[in-house]
Amino acid sequence: MSPPAPATPATSLGSPNLTAICFFLAFVAITLAITWWAARRTKTTEEFFAAGRAISGRQNGIALAGDYMSAASFLGIAGLVSLSGFDGLIYSIGWLVGWPIVLFLIAEPLRNLGRYTFSDVVSFRLRERPVRVAAAIGTLAVVLFYLIAQMVGAGNLIKLMFGVSFELAVILVGLVMLTYVLLGGMLATTWVQIVKAVLLMFGAALLCTLTLLQFDFSPTRLFARAGELYGEGVFAPGKQVANPWDAVSLGLALIFGTAGLPHILMRFYTVPDARAARQSVFWATGLIGAFYLMTFILGFGAMVLVGRDAISAIDKGGNMAAPLLAEVLGGTGLLGFIAAVAFATILAVVAGLTLAGAAALSHDLWVSVHRRGRTTHAEQLVVARIATIILGLAAIVLGILFKGQNVAFMVGLAFAVAASGNFPALVLSIFWRGFTTAGAVGATLTGTFSSLILIAASPTMMVDILGHEAALFPLRNPAIVTIPLGFAVGIVLSLLGPEASAAAGYDAKERRIIMGAEDPRNEPG
């Protein structure tokens, strides 16, 4: 018995689209002009990594949204909703609730304690070198997994939308991104992220409006139509959360992962003070929440107007749901616009990741650990740019190496490592006087490596990718084990060997969290 032939929907996806190419070239032209403008304002390390700390709270909030809303959340969530309905909401909500946690626990202390990386905060009052090495490992693990996911996604997406080869697409993304970061540093990256966030919000709002226009502007009428077509299962938890403990574990990784993502944390150094850091999260939370509500409508819109069979015929994961919806609603013109927005989305996220990885390599490992802080400004800037080139080339090479692999799990992996390796050390160092160097190193390394090991032993890796019968570890996301483990190791190691100088430095740290770096009492002498 042969399976029915797949539906061949009438779509121009996969053939070069003139509108898409025009919009894309316009985006690249605008962002390169911004880069040229930013390059003339990027002469010091502080300008390169922190845009001279002159970004306003609102600008940074929009840029944070641009840094955070990856192609995974735009195309992936819309696709997930279009194929499984309610389950997509679980991811959107998880990705949003991380933001209040960032605001309450991390944003202001981070801004007041650090300069370029979150290791600045963890290593404050502790022995600097071991802590920085551990934090750099945690940072690079998150950045590389996230980069691989984005680059492979970019290659597939651009191949599908513009009809160029995978390798060419990856190289193109890598080179354009390198131009932004290398020349314009954080200032160019910030404005690329702002332009992208505005385009993405506009594109999503436009698609939403056009969708709801067909349902008398009543979302429930749209949802009800989906229920008529595909049954009421689309409104209830489905097969994405078949194992309940997997859902809980994923939830933990999502809510605490955001607070450990190095490229997000780094953005808080671009604003002048703690008040602006706070405003940034206010804007980011509002934008990201609104965006995910719109994605939910887009997903259902694609389910009803495009149809599930047509969506999964183009891409089994449903990633093309939003572009296909655009084509149904507005023809190849709108499809081209949305395709260009998706491309811009990837560029902005990849630029932020590269900058965060470069800061860990140059500021943490080279300047602080290798040179023990004794470098010239000129050397710091050269090293920062070399680190950027290394990261950019790594992104291109890894993207090509992982061609054809299922890399969707790598974003989950990045969140698990961020939540288990970086988050516990960051929170304990801010809130606990008794935290020690051994505790920080132990928490970061245990959280990072236990996540890596348990994902290697998970059903995603062993059953889905390697094709074994069963997996050594039952859950797809390790966070329910690895977050408590990270905290436990940090606490136990600190209790076993108290560190007098670390405890003594806590008052100064607490003071600086409240009063800021500019408080004259911070620098003794």
Partner 1 sequence: MSDHEVKALARARRRIAIALSLTVFLLYFGFIFAVAFEREMMARMIVPGFSAGMLFGVLVIVGAWLTTWIYVRWANAHLDPRRAAIQRARPR
DSSP 8-state assignment for residue 42: -
- Tokens coding 73: 């959340």
Q: Is 426 near partner 1 (CB under 8 A)? A: no
DSSP 8-state assignment for residue 8: -
Please select the residue that binds partner 1; options are 24, 27, 223, 487, rule is CB under 8 A.
223
Q: From the CB of 368, what's the least distance to partner 1, in Å?
A: 27
Q: Is 432 near partner 1 (CB under 8 A)? A: no
Q: Is 471 near partner 1 (CB under 8 A)? A: no
d(CA 237, CA 370): 51
Q: From the CB of 208, what's the least distance to partner 1, in Å?
A: 15
* DSSP string computed for 326-392: HHHHHHHHHHHHHHHHHHHHHHHHHHHHHHHHHHIIIIIIIIIIISTT---HHHHHHHHHHHHHHHH
Q: Is 227 near partner 1 (CB under 8 A)? A: yes
Q: From the CB of 245, what's the least distance to partner 1, in Å?
A: 7
Among candidate residues 176, 207, 225, the one with its CA nearest the CA of residue 74: 207
Query: What count of other Cβ atoms lies within 10 Å of the Cβ of residue 150?
Result: 27
Q: Is 444 near partner 1 (CB under 8 A)? A: no
Pick the closer one to partner 1 by CB: 22 or 241: 241
Which span sits near partner 1 by CB under 8 A: 2-10, 24-32, 168-176, 289-297? 289-297
Which span sits near partner 1 by CB under 8 A: 41-49, 60-68, 214-222, 386-394? 214-222
Handedness of CA 475, 478, 483, 489 (dihedral sign): positive
Residues 6+ apart with CB under 8 A from 105: 259, 427, 430, 431
Amino acid, single-letter form, for residue 294: M
Q: Is 467 near partner 1 (CB under 8 A)? A: no
d(CA 219, CA 224): 9
Pick the closer one to partner 1 by CB: 248 or 503: 248
Pick the closer one to partner 1 by CB: 41 or 225: 225
Over the window 499 to 518, marking each residue x when it contacts partner 1 by CB under 8 A and - when it does not, the resulting string is: -----------xx-xxxx--
Residues 6+ apart with CB under 8 A from 449: none
Of 317-376, binders to partner 1 (CB under 8 A) are none
- Tokens coding 506: 């806590």
Q: Is 309 near partner 1 (CB under 8 A)? A: no
Amino acid, single-letter form, for residue 332: T
Alpha helices, DSSP H, located in 40-86: 45-50, 57-68, 71, 77-84
- Tokens coding 472: 């050594």
d(CA 58, CA 35): 21
Cα Dmax for the chain:
84
Q: Is 474 near partner 1 (CB under 8 A)? A: no
d(CA 71, CA 89): 16
Which span sits near partner 1 by CB under 8 A: 132-140, 151-159, 283-291, 308-316? 283-291
Query: What count of other Cβ atoms lies within 10 Å of the Cβ of residue 372?
Result: 10
d(CA 73, CA 69): 6
Q: Is 32 near partner 1 (CB under 8 A)? A: no
The alpha carbon of 101 is separated from its chain's Cα centroid by a whole number of angstroms, namely 16
Please select the residue that binds partner 1; options are 39, 54, 212, 293, rule is CB under 8 A.
293
8 A C-beta contact, residue 503 and residue 433: yes
Please select the residue that binds partner 1; options are 43, 275, 370, 377, rule is CB under 8 A.
275
Q: Is 16 near partner 1 (CB under 8 A)? A: no
Pick the closer one to partner 1 by CB: 440 or 513: 513
Query: What count of other Cβ atoms lies within 10 Å of the Cβ of residue 322?
Result: 32
Q: Is 305 near partner 1 (CB under 8 A)? A: no
Please select the residue that binds partner 1; options are 7, 25, 168, 236, rule is CB under 8 A.
236
Q: Is 110 near partner 1 (CB under 8 A)? A: no
Which span sits near partner 1 by CB under 8 A: 121-129, 176-184, 285-293, 487-495? 285-293
Q: From the CB of 150, what's the least distance to partner 1, in Å?
A: 25
Q: Is 86 near partner 1 (CB under 8 A)? A: yes
Over the window 88 to 107, marking each residue x when it contacts partner 1 by CB under 8 A and - when it does not, the resulting string is: -xx--xx-xx-xxx-xxx--
Pick the closer one to partner 1 by CB: 29 or 514: 514
Binding site for partner 1 (CB under 8 A): 86, 89-90, 93-94, 96-97, 99-101, 103-105, 108, 219-227, 232-233, 235-237, 241, 244-245, 247-248, 251, 255, 275, 278-279, 281-282, 285-286, 289, 292-293, 431, 510-511, 513-516, 519-520
